[in-house]
Amino acid sequence: MEIYLDNAATSMIDPRVSTAMLSCHDMKAMNASSAHKLGVVAATAIEKARAAIAREINAEPQELIFTSGGTESNNLALKGIAFANRERGKHIIVSQIEHMSIMETAKWLERQGFEITYLPVDREGFVSPSDVQKAIKRGTILVSIIHANNEIGTIEPIAEIGTICKSKKVYFHSDACQSFTREEIDVKSQNLDLVSLNAHKIHGPKGIGALYVRKTAKIEPLLHGGGQEGGRRSGTYNVEGIVGFGKAAEIAGEVDIKRLAELRDYFIQKIQSSIEKVDLNGPRIKRLCNNINLRFRSVNGQSLSRELSEKNIYVSAGSACLSTKVTPSHVLLAIGLEPERAQEAIRISLSRWTTLEEVDVVVQSLSEIVRRSREGG
């Protein structure tokens, strides 16, 4: 029996998504930029997918740019806005708990002469809207705040932040790769100018994502070439990936978010009642429905993850492996954990297929491993 609980890293493709993608293979060679009949078929399939994804965030289809995934979307959002608007200013605001594709892009922009403010968060990972307001100054061109944190599941107050940014005439971007289809995203009511999305977190294929860009936003492309996506992102279309993304978005509404949240809460309650000295990282409420991040005191998260893997239970540790060096998670450090405490964490992320029986098996396995580890065996 295999139990996969690492869905925040990537999720298994829904069979209906695979079927939709395979239908593209049956259409022979297709380049959506070609003017012939096969090209038109491909272009039509792309626009159907674009419309399905746009509906999920209340956007206009033409405001979506297809990318290779969340990392490219985040890079395009920050670099594209920065270089297209640098005559207005060079100040950008991000939080201290952004995905690494935001953090590393921000560091790169600093080396190009931009000023970056890294906003702190509280012990549950929340960004304060008042801190955002205070940080905005003359020359601020962009605020980027993750919607739901990929490690600890904190759902940020993006509607409040969006209102502030709109009043200050500052672009507002949110990385919504974890929250897409799990939390409400309405680019109009939440005053979002840019939103990063991807497919493989919602049971779609890897290697395909999208960036919503409000039609009034001024953005510089990263990739130049044939002028695809209205000149905003050149490159031959990944037709199969886009069709798969569209299908995943189309069927995402079938996921019972309430059931996932109840299963998440059951897991947390059962773990904390079964094992002593277990702490929840992140909030109990305003938390992503499928996210659980736990710290088992005096037990190394990497070791715990490896032992679970030997039992065919797959989770991720709360620290990141960089080459051969293990470094504590920047997110856990930002919420106030000491480095040694941060390395005691594991992240468990549920999917539409996770069952109560699987949760009970994982809790039992964790109890055995933690007890043995603490006893020195």
Tokens standing for 345? 């964490």
Cβ pair 288, 183 in contact under 8 A: yes
Using CA atoms, how far apart are residues 85 and 236, in angstroms rounded to an integer? 27
Residue 12 CB coordination number (10 Å): 13
Give the distance between the most distant pair of CA atoms in the chain.
Answer: 70
CA angle 179–309–180, rounded 5-degree value: 5
Please provide the size of the chain in residues.
377
From the candidates 24, 177, 289, 321, which is the catalytic residue? 321
What φ, ψ does residue 342 adopt, rounded to 5°? -60, -30
Angle between helices 15-25 and 239-251 (to 10 degrees): 150
Using CA atoms, how far apart are residues 271 and 329, in angstroms rounded to an integer? 22
- β-partners of residue 175 are 196
Using CA atoms, how far apart are residues 359 and 346, in angstroms rounded to an integer? 15
Q: Are strands 140-144 and 171-175 parallel, antiparallel or unpaired?
A: parallel
Does the annotation count 177 as an active-site position? no
Catalytic residue numbers read 321
